[in-house]
Structure 1
Amino acid sequence: MIIFIVPKNSGLKRCREIVAAEYPQTKQVVVRGEDIPSIVTRLLKEGKKVIGITGEDLFKEFLLNFKNSKLSILKKFIWEDDSAMFGKPCLCLLGPKEKKMEELPKNLKVCINKKYTKLAKRYLSLLEARGYTFEKFYLSGVTEESFNKGLADLVIEIVYSGKSAEEAGLRVYEKIFESDIVIIGTREKEESKALENFSLNDLLKKINEKISSSDEDSYTKKLVADPEILKRKLIEEAAEVITSKNKEELIWECSDLIYFLFVIMAKNGVTVEDIEKENERRDKK
């Protein structure tokens, strides 16, 4: 029997609902959402058949800490909630609502939710390149309260409804990472072997198949239906490519960027051959 690791966090209740509805025959183990990638990794090493479900933000943080991890996203569920400020949880930079970022001093104290140390570090490096310096400290909770008590000038925290941020006198300065729900694990050996020769043409073909499918939960279909989300993801991934610290991280981020680029290509009927022909034409000049 497959073991399904599910989160006990109240904010990830949707994960438990998905497992109950779609995977009722699995044995479920309930742990903290931020621990799920590590637990799945350990149980896989013990030879167990195991998968996990958690927030995409928590999985991304794990991958930034363990770049050689063999875990991958097996399936993604778009998080849609009209009561959420952005329709889903979003890691954000929060600042005093009566000011703009450019009105603040260049040397700032920032309180960071300790679940997101790597995501925050990567984002703040972009601001540091613009001349800002940060005194960082990390809390497990009450990050917004640190602003109220004068301990922090800025806060990096998950925003859902936005109510607690508003009550603390904060507003969203910038979105850092929008989170959906992901099922994580490792692919079967047969599938991994088939992926060894996976080409860019194969990727584009798979994206076209997703667009043409009847699966309304398809992440690719959602992107095609909402150009603004697709545009934001392209900008976000391009920034992550630029700020990559090493070869492994660069490979990971380039793969993300190519996926979103190929979604735009597929949407507009552009093929890999079209790109190759254009580059061949330029080479002859």
Structure 2
Amino acid sequence: MDEIKIALGKGRLEKFTLQALQEMGIEFPELKKGSRKLIFNDTEDKIRIVLVKASDVPTYVENGAADIGFVGKDTLLEQGADVFEVLDLGFGKCKFAVAGLPDQATKPNQKLTVATKYPKVAKNFYNNKGVSVETIYLNGSVELAPLIGLSDVIVDIVETGRTLKENGLVVLEDISEISARLIVNKASFKTKTERIHSFINQLDDLLKKHSIQN
């Protein structure tokens, strides 16, 4: 029987996921700090973890290279992958927001320039509002853009708001709440129904248990 393949992005979500799997009784003895391996099997050869770049998780799951993936909602919204989103893991809570200078004013019928790492999210948000925008893709320090006149506003992830505040920016509009999610390949959901449902139910029970304790 084929194992369930899980795509997992490196970083904070990796640590959260491995801890959850351990509490579910799923151990990966070869997955040690500092290891350069990217594929790990559990002790019973029923679960295989594939460590990938966080932004690649939806691609692996959508194309069937992995059955299940742990990924941030921000990545899902930006990529629009054709997968089943089955669980809100309640981890890494933050939000997408529009931010800019406190006195930022938008003029009717004026095209807005938006700097962001998430152009699809920005365009969808403003299209739904009927606002014409030009997006400028920046991979880092988007807070600089409105300060030096590169853009009118930015669309970014906001967790505490500290970075915005220290750079003289404020949240102008909230777009959506985001957190880590569990996603499943659509074909795998049919071909490995029993095993995947069992995994989902175990994880859901664990999340509920922690929610009660907190």
Q: Give the TM-score of the pair, scaled to structure 2.
A: 0.68
Instruction: Specify every segment of 5 or more residues in structure 1 that has no aligned partner in the other structure, as ranges.
Output: 81-87, 193-213, 223-285
1:52 aligns with 2:69: yes
**Using CA pairs below 8 Å that are at least 6 residues apart, which structure has the higher relative contact order?**
2
Q: 1:91 aligns with which of 92, 96, 101?
A: 96
5 Å-filtered alignment, 1:1-285, equals: 1-10=3-12, 14-22=16-24, 23-24=26-27, 25=42, 26-42=47-63, 44=64, 50-63=67-80, 66=81, 69=82, 71-79=83-91, 88-97=93-102, 99=103, 103-105=105-107, 106-113=110-117, 116-127=118-129, 129=130, 132-186=131-185, 187-189=189-191, 217=207
Q: Give the TM-score of the pair, scaled to structure 1.
A: 0.53
Deviation at 1:144, TM superposition (A): 0.9
Q: Deviations over 1:141-177 (max 9, x none)?
A: 2111222222111000011111111112111111112
Residue type of the alignment partner of 1:183: L
3-state SS in 2 of match to 1:38: helix
The structure in which a higher percent of residues are strand is 2
Query: Structure 1 169/21 Cα, relative in aligned 2: closer, same or farther at 3 Å?
Result: farther
Query: Structure 1 134/60 Cα, relative in aligned 2: closer, same or farther at 3 Å?
Result: closer
Deviation at 1:53, TM superposition (A): 0.3
Deviation at 1:76, TM superposition (A): 2.1
Are the equivalent residues in 2 in contact too, given 1:57–1:177 (CA < 8 A)?
A: no
Query: Structure 1 16/109 Cα, relative in aligned 2: closer, same or farther at 3 Å?
Result: farther
Kindly report the root-mean-square deviation, in angstroms, between the aligned alpha carbons of the 2 structures. Answer: 3.0
Count residues in correspondence. 175
The structure in which a higher percent of residues are helix is 1
Counting aligned pairs with the same residue, the percent is: 23
Q: Deviations over 1:213-268 (max 9, x none)?
A: x95946xx99xxxxxxxxxxxxxxxxxxxxxxxxxxxxxxxxxxxxxxxxxxxxxx
Query: Structure 1 138/20 Cα, relative in aligned 2: closer, same or farther at 3 Å?
Result: farther
For 2:178 and 2:98, the matched residues in 1 are separated by: 15
Q: Deviations over 1:166-223 (max 9, x none)?
A: 112111111112112211113134859xxxxxxxxxxxxxxxxxxxxx95946xx99x
Are the equivalent residues in 1 in contact too, given 2:8–2:50 (CA < 8 A)?
A: yes
For 2:50 and 2:176, the matched residues in 1 are separated by: 27
Q: Which residue of 1 aligns with 2:198?
A: none
Residue type of the alignment partner of 1:108: L
Q: Deviations over 1:27-81 (max 9, x none)?
A: 3222222210101233x2x6xx631100122123322xx5xx2x2023221237x
**More displaced, 154-163 or 25-34?**
25-34
Are the equivalent residues in 2 in contact too, given 1:147–1:168 (CA < 8 A)?
A: no
For 1:216 and 1:36, the matched residues in 2 are separated by: 23
Instruction: Specify every segment of 5 or more residues in structure 2 that has no aligned partner in the other structure, as ranges.
Output: 28-41, 195-203
